Amino acid sequence: MRRRDSIVLWPVYFDSTKTRREGRRLPKKFCVPSPNVVMLENAVRNLGLSYEVQQEAFYPRLPWIKMGSIIVRKSGESKSRVMRRIASELMKLSGGPFGKNLNN
């Protein structure tokens, strides 16, 4: 069931080891290698966003892999803007080489 008041985020959106065809949504320079749902949860929590974790969720493109997802409540920002903020936080948490501010 589609939720109009929320955004579904999958770890693969932020995975620098994946191609766009495999599901990555951001440029590689804004991603981290092999993020998981726990890393995403930490980043979303640090940003103070309202969220819900679905540990047992299967990514539709890879239904044989249980990777989990995060459902973030919309706060007036676009999905791409929220993803960039989360990517910035993920890089800070993982010590990635591009831990710079991506909000500009």
pLDDT digit string, tens, across residues 4-38 = 889 999 999 999 999 999 999 999 999 999 999 99
DSSP letters of 38-78?
HHHHHHHHHHT--EEEETT-B-TT-TTSB--EEEEE--SS-
Mean pLDDT computed over every residue of the chain: 87
**Per-domain residue ranges of the chain:** 6-94
CATH architecture of 6-94: 2-Layer Sandwich (3.30)
Tens of pLDDT, residues 62-96: 777 788 999 999 888 899 999 999 999 999 998 86
Quick: pLDDT tens for 38-49: 999 999 999 999
